[in-house]
Structure 1
Amino acid sequence: MTPADMAALHGRCFTTPRPWSAAEIAALQADPFCFCLQRDGGFLIGRVVAGEAELLTLAVAPEARRQGLGRALLTGFLAESARRGAEQAFLEVTAENDPALALYAAGGFAQAGRRRGYYRRADGSALDALVLARAVSADDLRLT
């Protein structure tokens, strides 16, 4: 998947937060701390710095949802994060994204914080972000 393909898919998946451009995705791919996982119908971009992993985005095509693709990408994120020496993993998700919250809870993430009014919808209204976290361990390497 090229950055343009990824941006097109990201645009199909997100309105809040706003979708990322091909240039933004390409810049992240060029960052030595970042990694990208791709599967047919989806991708994930993560970053590991100083023992902390951050799931930057996970996008699954609407027609490919509820088939285990998100779970596979999340499992891959945890394994790659462990390989890169992460001890903690974090992510941020809109408080109203129930499918994503269920996926992350199933992956062992729990709420570590709330950023009130962090996101803005297209109409200007505010939306909270939840910060989720979990430990990363050698066990995560065995899941892939």
Structure 2
Amino acid sequence: MAEEKHHHHLFHHKDENKPVVEEGVYSETAYSTDGPGGYTETSEVYAAASTPEVDYKKEEKHHKHMEELGELGAAAAGVYALHEKHKSKKDPEHAHKHKIEEEIAAAAAVGAGGFAFHEHHEKKETKEEDEEAHGKKHHHLF
């Protein structure tokens, strides 16, 4: 089985086939002394690699996807919190355990909602950057 294995990760995907665009060249000159009255000059040339072109549509789609995952997580944690609340009423012997699990699920729901809210604003910011990069102007009056 000499098949190539692809590992899919939830958050970070690395695009190994993206070309690196070289934008500038700079040089550095250093001087050192060889003793009394003499010096040596050493020059090195470096090529500076710039950041690759940003694909705003791809980035916007990524933030939209992450926002939806955050919403889904918030909904799932909220449903689980309600389930535990119901269980605490139906199972008085273990009510304290169910109350604690309800509170943990509620906290997870709030966290996931905050993540979704964050990604929503990242998506909006990416959309604005895309519009600015393509010449669309915004007139902010307030």
**Greater per-residue strand proportion:** 1
Higher Rg of the two aligned structures: 2
TM-score above 0.5: no
Category of TM-score, reference length = shorter chain: under 0.3
TM-score, with structure 1 as normaliser = 0.21
Whose helix fraction is larger, Structure 1's or Structure 2's? 2
Q: Taking structure 2 as the reference length, what is the TM-score of the superposition? A: 0.21
